[in-house]
Chains A and B, each alone.
Chain A
Amino acid sequence: GAVVSQHPSRVICKSGTSVKIECRSLDFQATTMFWYRQFPKQSLMLMATSNEGSKATYEQGVEKDKFLINHASLTLSTLTVTSAHPEDSSFYICSATVGAGYYNEQFFGPGTRLTVL
């Protein structure tokens, strides 16, 4: 099956710093990638939809200036958490769809655990 990787798998940073998380589709080209956030014992919450070469579409309540998403190629999307604060500590997960059209499931990355001190 299609493989999606994320880097890093976990990161610890100081409050006020920025953190970049990479999401890669390893064996396919992904025209659409999604970013989710998951707090402990909660479900996944969609943050934004990212299409290659265009601006991301953010869900209501997600600050686009704080969570910068870049999808510059068909195999790479990045999420940058700017000026991170402890409340941004969470499990960040990306996903990608294979090909175009219908019936294609989303493949998820293994997630990145961010801890902001």
Chain B
Amino acid sequence: DAKTTQPPSMDCAEGRAANLPCNHSTISGNEYVYWYRQIHSQGPQYIIHGLKNNETNEMASLIITEDRKSSTLILPHATLRDTAVYYCIVRSGLNTDKLIFGTGTRLQVFP
């Protein structure tokens, strides 16, 4: 699996957009970018995934660069409940393929 690089921590003011970057320069053509988050002492929660086009759902937007070597997860209006560790993971789209979690970004949303 391709490895990802994320900043260890970020802060964001409540109500502002949180932009979480991820570098995945060794991603291969059939690999997707997945984002999960883990709120303290809970199981991870799926957020979004994409291959090469930008994606948006009710939780977030995912912007993938044209060369696919990096991406940004955008939480458009961060709330205190969005405080969590965010993981960017690269894997194939096959549902039996395992997720390998890196160290993630600890996002702290402050009032």
Contacts and interface: CB of A to CB of B under 8 A. Distances in A.
Q: Say if A and B assemble together.
A: yes
A31 B104 CA distance: 28
Contact of B41 (A34, A106, A111): A111
Interface residues of B, number: 21
Interface residues of A, number: 31
A39 B43 CA distance: 13
Mostly, the A contact residues are strand
Given A105-B34, A105-B49, A111-B41, A98 B95 contact: yes
Given A93-B44, A110-B43, A43 B94 contact: no
Nearest to A94: B43
Mostly, the B contact residues are loop
Interface string A23-53: 0000000011010100000011110010100
Interface of A: 4, 6, 31-32, 34, 36, 43-46, 49, 51, 91, 93, 95, 97-111, 113
Interface string B35-61: 000100111111001000000000000
Contact of B46 (A31, A106, A110): A106
A61 B46 CA distance: 27
A101 B97 CA distance: 10
A44 B102 CA distance: 8
Given A95-B43, A109-B43, A110-B42, A102 B94 contact: yes
Interface in B89-107: 93-96, 98-104
Contacts of A91: 41
Given A95-B43, A105-B34, A108-B44, A32 B95 contact: yes
